[in-house]
């Protein structure tokens, strides 16, 4: 199988996943936009109306939207990718394909969705009076590093679940833990001590990424480039390691998926 064929298969699989998903629901494509919006609504009610976020309404909506729209990409893609090898059991028993094909297709699908979600994010920002500026170009490297992070975590999740199904129980828990620790509805920069903020940004790359989204889109600041590049390099290394592992253990993974 050539690399070109591999990527064209990922692309076709991802489009088919989208098509199948859209045809399943009455509102179809609308759900791409509705789901993240409803999430923002839920968080707004809880953290601004019931609890006090300490921010003004409009500001808090933008704050939530930037964070949630980035986080939902990560959580959905990693969740889908993690179950993808096991879910494709039937196919895995029939064709000898690289096992990364299934998580990568799931991730590709979420990439297409995310393109639409980013567009919606831009519209919301404009509606709330934040106009596009040159600093928005920072979103290109930020989205790219987000993508690398998703691929790295998705491949790891897919292998873990394939080798031991029990991990399927832990992945949603892990994602929820990440949601609470990544500063989705609280500001990582407004913690009671500076050290805590720095510690959190250092150990949780997702907290850094959500903050980077806000810095660029809401305040027109540039992100910490060194930190961004570092995350990018680490994720690339993880991806390379996982691809190698999956290529060497393809038949082992098939056996685990089938039995």
Partner 1 sequence: MIGNEKRKVMLTLQDVSLSFQSDKGAFDRGVHHVLDSVSFKLYENETLGIIGRNGVGKTTMLRIMAGILAPTSGRVVSQRGKSASLLTIGLGHKADLSGRDNAMLSAMLQGATKKEALGYLEDIKEFSELGDSFEEQVKTYSSGMKSRLGFTTALLTHVDILLVDEVLSVGDAEFKKKAEQAMKERMGGDQTVVFVSHSDAQVASLCDRVIWIDSGKVCGQGAPEQVIAQYRESIHEKAQLKKKSLESAGA
Do residues 217 and 130 touch, judged by C-beta distance below 8 A? yes
**Cβ 36 to partner 1 shortest distance, Å:** 22
Do residues 156 and 246 touch, judged by C-beta distance below 8 A? no
Do residues 149 and 231 touch, judged by C-beta distance below 8 A? yes
Q: Which tokens go with 160?
A: 């873990």
**Cβ 91 to partner 1 shortest distance, Å:** 4
Name the 3-class secondary structure at 26.
coil
For residue 32, the 8-state DSSP code is: H
**Cβ 257 to partner 1 shortest distance, Å:** 10
Q: Which residues make up the interface to partner 1 (CB under 8 A)?
A: 1, 5, 8-9, 12-13, 16, 19-21, 23-24, 88, 90-97, 251-252, 254-255, 258-259
**Please, what sign has the CA dihedral across residues 141, 126, 205, 86?**
negative
Q: Which tokens go with 45?
A: 């009610």
Please identify, using beta-carbon distances, which residue of 87 and 122 lies nearer to partner 1.
87
Please identify, using beta-carbon distances, which residue of 17 and 239 lies nearer to partner 1.
17
Please identify, using beta-carbon distances, which residue of 95 and 173 lies nearer to partner 1.
95
For residue 223, the 8-state DSSP code is: P
For residue 129, the 8-state DSSP code is: T
**Cβ 255 to partner 1 shortest distance, Å:** 6
Tell me which residue has tokens 């998903």: 21
Please identify, using beta-carbon distances, which residue of 13 and 215 lies nearer to partner 1.
13
Please identify, using beta-carbon distances, which residue of 90 and 129 lies nearer to partner 1.
90
**Cβ 60 to partner 1 shortest distance, Å:** 38
Q: Which tokens go with 119?
A: 């567009």
């Amino acid at each position: 199988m050539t690399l070109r064929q591999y990527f064209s298969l990922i692309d076709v699989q991802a489009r088919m996943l989208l098509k199948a998903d859209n045809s399943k629901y009455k509102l179809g494509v609308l759900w791409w936009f509705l789901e993240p919006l409803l999430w923002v609504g839920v968080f707004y009610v809880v953290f601004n109306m019931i609890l006090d976020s300490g921010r003004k309404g409009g500001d808090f909506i933008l704050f939530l939207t930037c964070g949630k729209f980035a986080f939902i990409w990560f959580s959905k893609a990693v969740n889908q990718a993690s179950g993808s090898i096991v879910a494709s059991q039937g196919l895995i028993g029939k064709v000898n394909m690289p096992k990364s094909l299934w998580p990568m297709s799931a991730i590709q699908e979420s990439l297409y969705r995310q393109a639409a979600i980013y567009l919606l994010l831009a519209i919301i920002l404009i509606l709330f009076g934040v106009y596009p500026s040159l600093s928005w170009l920072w979103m290109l490297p930020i989205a790219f590093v987000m993508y690398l992070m998703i691929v790295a975590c998705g491949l790891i999740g897919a292998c873990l679940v394939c080798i031991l199904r029990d991990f399927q129980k832990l992945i949603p828990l892990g994602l929820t833990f990440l949601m609470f620790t990544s500063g989705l509805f609280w500001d990582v920069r407004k913690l009671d001590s500076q050290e805590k903020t720095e510690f959190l940004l250092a150990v949780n790359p997702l907290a850094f990424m959500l903050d980077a989204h806000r810095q660029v889109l809401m305040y027109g600041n540039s992100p910490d480039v060194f930190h961004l590049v570092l995350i990018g390099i680490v994720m690339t290394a993880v991806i390379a390691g996982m691809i190698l592992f999956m290529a060497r253990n393809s038949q082992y993974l098939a056996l685990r998926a089938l039995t």
